Structure 1
Amino acid sequence: MTAGKKIASAAVNNRKQTPLMSWLRDKLLAIGRRPDQAPPGLPGPDGKFVFNYQNRYPNTQASRSPDPPALPGGVHHKLADNYYLTRDARHSVQPPPELYKSQEEGSIGVFTDLNNQPIDKPILGVNKGPSQNFGLKAPTPGFGFEWNRSVTEEQPSQKNDKHLAFAQKFDKYLKLH
């Protein structure tokens, strides 16, 4: 896309074509239509339909130049104290942290947090299924979702639904917590 205005300068006169080319253009664009067809263009203030050509001139139309975007500044828009490689935020992406480190081949390792501190308590956000995460020490991928029905927080249509009450009897996760 080019920079600058998208309109001819005021010094340029409106371009005219030869009568033969104007007649051919009007025939191809169906400007001079028969009375039984829809008129071209939009009605003007006098009620007559006028075909407006696509050319844009300063004495007939306004320019199409939009205002430049006003984006909020950030750490990457600083003029000083902004190193070349840190100007683009894509360079600051780190690989995912290690969640599990094995101590030696074949032995069970230790879970660590982002500061490489060992985690002894259960990790929040792990999936819990039958027999507490299928008996595995490692969390399953994802954040997990535990569905638990609380009748006191539901709408009347769900409180009185016999199908939800029937399905709650088969909820395996309800017995674990």
Structure 2
Amino acid sequence: MSGRKIAAATVQNRTQTPFWNWLKQKLLASDRLPITPPPGIAGPDGKAVYQNPLRFPNTQSARPCSAELPALPGGVHHKLADNYYLTRDGRRNVDAPKVLYSSGEFVGGEKAQPAQVNQGVATNFGLTAPTPGFGAEWSRSKQNELASQQKNTEFEYLQRFDKFTKSA
């Protein structure tokens, strides 16, 4: 980086009045008692001085013509300026979305036939089941149950109460 700064060294940075500077030094504890060690790196006089974090023009390097140009590979992006926006912007190369279907019919490709998943209650589940909804009456019998349920003694007891669940 170059030693040339944005502003001349004679430019005075903004600062507060001496009272506010003194108060700031006290509140930040940068001026301490002689028995207390300094808060940071001590200066040549042995005291720690508050380092202002603000950036002023006479502390910054001048960017134009002061730094070396970066070594970039060749291509459409190799220039730092005067590069045409429309040729380097990737959003300009995007096409409109393709139409997959129009008014319920597929436009491109073969129409896929839906796979027959439901083979029936007996094939899918092994037991007959009523259709859900109104009008379905569940009838329970030992012959329609699995072998583990046919040997269950509580099943016969519960089957006696099925007559109360039937609709009139």
- The TM-score with structure 2 as length reference comes to 0.35
Of structures 1 and 2, the one scoring higher in RCO (CA 8 A, sep 6+) is 2
- The TM-score with structure 1 as length reference comes to 0.34
